[in-house]
Structure 1
Amino acid sequence: MEGHQEWLHGFAQAKTEAALLELLAKAANELGFDYCALGMRLPLPFSNPRTVMFNNYPQAWQQRYQSEQYLRIDPTVAQGMTSTRPMLWSEALFASSRPLWEDARAHGLQIGWAQPTHDLKGVASLLTFARSGEAIGRTEFQANAQKMHWLAQAAHAALANILAAKPDGVGTIKLTEREIEVLRWAADGKTAADSAEILAISERTVIFHIDNALRKLGAANKTAGVLKAAMLRLI
């Protein structure tokens, strides 16, 4: 891949998942792959973290992957949640998910390269390029490892921005300085009365700012609000 500045501009201009997918498909082709996929797991909600996925795999495989709920047993997804090391598809990697491995190969997805990315907000993503042709050798891996790592990070940042810009995205949550202050003191275990004394304001004012913050965060109570704000790095 040539011209990182041109690619950076492209990622910055991508405002939808479709536009981002188009860029990644072009990058995949330049690196000798037929297909690409990008998935991102968000840290919220706590009980069932949201996962966003899109790809240009054959339609039959997309339907198969969903109907068989392969996401639950995909080893690249599991390892990508705890590591940022690149993964090349192999029988060993899919040893515990043999049906998935054999099914993917039957759909023309035989060779794959998966690159995880994690950010400081606790968000993880996985960029995967796949093809049905020649295996990835040492020379190809060494030549493209840095490019793949860079693409995964750029794609992660672009998708995070796209999601944050949506009406229900975390990027739309804007807390005031006072709301941040009262939530920080609440995170330290301070009561509304304690915070009022520390901040030299009335307890009623503290409660007012906490209530406003909880409304913006969509949290049912102070504990949930503090946890959500902390996970989103808002406090």
Structure 2
Amino acid sequence: MRSWQEEQIQLLTETHSEGDFLSALSQIADELGFDYCAYGMRMPLPLAQPRIIMLSSQPQQWQRHYLDDYYHSVDNTLHDMHSITPYIWSGEEHTGSTKFWEDARAHGLQAGWAQSSHDARGIVGMLTLARSRSYTSFKELRNRALQKSWLAQTAHEALSRVLVPKFLPEAETQLTTREVEVLRWSADGKTSGEVGNIMCISERTVNFHVNNALVKLGANNKTAGVIKAAILGFL
């Protein structure tokens, strides 16, 4: 007999589109006792305006309210995206925007659980599970904590596989060992001439490797290329 984790791995890894992913995640959320689920993913690039993709089974009216009323600015779960500690809400013990929480409860989001995920490419994700009843027992938290934390990581990996080729193709770039090395020294502030001396190659060869890396990364100049390579975990 397969374990719960094995069943969910197969369910999520077989998804090939955002719709398939949300359908699978909704099924798992229901098995865990939650009416709704959502997954938000923030790409690390572009730096000035990172791309954010949000998939949600929450009521459509609530999703419209969330966007129209700029609730992202007061949503405590989003403010916890840099923490790996789960964020749990239940009842009316919330802090922050009263209007936000009243509106959420009015649309059936009475209690929930959220946890962020981070990977080596700088991609940040947030899994949110919510339901219409407000009570969350200590026993439930204790018994389901590992499953939900595991689900957050598995969902992140599954959705990344779907979204990265479309929204962050640079992350799938294959840099050579030499390209990585010259970019790494450049990130430390070394000039092409200094890098050449360190690596015992000509300055022209250094620039050759740098330019090849920039083409692969889709970067307009060396500074942008070094930043991209560092953010994506190549260095």
Contact 1:39 1:54 in 2 (8 A): yes
CA shift at 1:97, angstroms?
Answer: 1.9
Deviation at 1:168, TM superposition (A): 4.4
Matching of residues 191-230 of structure 1 within 5 Å: 191-230=191-230
Check conservation: 1:75, 1:97, Cα contact below 8 A. Answer: no
Q: Which moved more, 1:151-160 or 1:41-50?
A: 41-50
CA deviation map 1:62-120 (0-9, x unaligned): 111111121122111101x2211112224444x21222111111111111111222234
* Residue equivalent to 1:60: 61
User: Structure 2: how far apart are the matches of 1:18 and 1:214?
Assistant: 34
Aligned to 1:175: 175
Q: Quote the offset at 1:134 in angstroms.
A: 4.5
1:155-191 deviation per Cα after TM superposition (whole angstroms, max 9, x unaligned): 0111222222327433332222221121011112211
Kindly provide the amino acid, as one letter, of the partner of residue 210 in structure 1: V
Unpaired runs of 5+ residues, structure 1, are: none
Consecutive unaligned residues in structure 2, runs of 5 or more: none
- Matched residues, number: 233
Report if the CA contact (8 A) 2:41-2:125 is conserved.
yes
Worse-superposed segment, 160-169 or 143-152 = 160-169
Q: With the length of structure 2 as denominator, give the TM-score of the two structures.
A: 0.91
Corresponding residue of 2:188 = 188
CA contact (8 A) 2:29 2:37 kept: yes
Partner Cα separation in structure 2 for residue 64 and residue 111 of structure 1: 18
Cα offset for 1:129? 0.9
Deviation per CA, 1:25-71, whole angstroms, max 9, x where unpaired? 01111011111001122222222222221111111111111111211
* Structure 1 residue ranges (4+ consecutive) displaced by more than 4 angstroms after TM superposition: none
CA contact (8 A) 2:121 2:231 kept: yes
Q: Distance in 1 between matches of 2:212 and 2:167?
A: 18
Partner of 1:31: 32
Aligned CA-pair RMSD: 1.9
Indicate conservation of the 8 Å contact 2:115/2:149, yes or no. yes
Shift of residue 211 of structure 1? 1.8
Aligned to 1:137: 137
- Checking the alignment, whether the CA contact within 8 Å between 1:37 and 1:127 is kept in structure 2 is yes
Supply the distance in 2 between the matched residues of 1:113 and 1:175 (Cα, whole angstroms): 39
Counting aligned pairs with the same residue, the percent is: 48
